[in-house]
Amino acid sequence: MFPFKKKETLEEKVLLIQQGNEQVLQEVLTEYQPFIKKSISSVCKRYITDSDDEYSIGMIAFHEALQLFDETKGQSLLAFADTIIKRKVIDYIRKQVKEQHIHLDVSSDTSTRQLDDIKSSQQYFVDQESVSRKEQILIYAKKLEEFDISFAELVKISPKHQDARNNAIAIAKLIAKDEELWQYCTEKKRLPLKKLEEKVRVSRKTMERNRKYIIAITIIFVYQYTFLMEYIKGRG
């Protein structure tokens, strides 16, 4: 008897996709259409068809997630893809609502009703974004706990000076992009200070003082927490 060929996992298929295998890409896109539609539907609160613009946006977002996914970061592919799909769909809808608002002639009763509908839609998506942000913060808080950091202390541990914050963020980006450095963090629950000293012009003492902040920011970059990234941009 010939042994059955072992079925490839989704993560194994993603590696093939990232190597340029178009056949596997099409297979995965087809297989995960229900997942993509479910993610979009959770934002739009309606049934999604293949002809919907939001569906096209979701497919593109899922494709992007397949290309960007890095298994070594510790996050599941579907959770990562779900975040990207929802974010892209929300961005698209907000843009559409904004354009409708700009081109609307409010001189007629009909247009006034349309404006009311648009305002209602805007509020809905603001509410949806708020829910997504809260969910992301809860997930982030659990990750922080793995490093003995509480979400509540983030403001307290944030460097007071702009230059110090910028340096800490730069170090966090470096760790997030380096598999070896991040693996050290996850295993030891501390910064790889010796290796970092070889790569950055920041004293060991300063890095130790800002250890929790650097790790907290690194987690945001590693797991691509989009809403929290906006916070970093605002602080940087």
Task: Give 104-159 as a 3 state SS string.
Answer: CCCCCHHHHHHHHHHHHHHHHHHHHHHHHHHHHHHHHHHHHHCCCCCHHHHHHHCC
Distance between CA atoms of residues 47 and 81, nearest Å = 19
pLDDT the model gives residue 129: 66
pLDDT the model gives residue 233: 67
Provide the token pair at 99: 């354009």
pLDDT the model gives residue 154: 86
What is the pTM assigned to this prediction? 0.56
Residue (of 121, 101, 122, 123) closest to 112 by Cα position: 101
pLDDT the model gives residue 1: 43
Contacts of 194 (CB under 8 A, 6+ apart): none
| Average pLDDT across the chain, whole number | 83
Residue type, 146: E
Burial of 151 (0-12, 13-18, 19+ CB in 10 A): middle
Residue (of 26, 4, 24, 23) closest to 13 by Cα position: 24
pLDDT in tens, 151-200: 888 888 889 888 999 999 999 999 999 999 999 999 999 999 999 999 99
Distance between CA atoms of residues 57 and 47, nearest Å = 15
pLDDT in tens, 96-134: 776 665 454 444 454 555 455 555 555 656 666 666 777
Q: How many CA atoms lie within 13 A of 184 on its CB side?
A: 13
pLDDT the model gives residue 106: 46
